[in-house]
Amino acid sequence: MPPAKKILIVDDEAMIRKAVHLALEKEGYEVVEAETGGEA
C-alpha cells in the first residue's frame, strides 16, 4: 500500500479544522492542522 498523501489544513476556526480533518482522513489522507499561517 502506498504511503498516505499528507495535507495541511490552516483555519482559525477549530470546528472547521476538525470537520475537514475528519472528512479528509476518511478519504485516506494524513492530515496536519494549524490555526494560523505562522503556525503552519
pLDDT in tens, 1-40: 788 899 999 999 999 999 999 999 999 999 999 999 999 9
Query: Quick one: pLDDT at residue 1?
Result: 73
Query: Quick one: pLDDT at residue 28?
Result: 95
Phi then psi for 14, rounded to 5 degrees?
Answer: -60, -40
Task: Kindly give, in sequence order, each residue whose CB lies less than 8 Å from that of residue 22, ignoring residues fewer than 6 positions away.
Answer: none
Query: Quick one: pLDDT at residue 2?
Result: 80
Residue 8, strand partner residues: 32
Query: Quick one: pLDDT at residue 16?
Result: 97
- Give a three-class secondary structure readout of 1-40: CCCCCEEEEECCCHHHHHHHHHHHHHCCCEEEEECCCCCC
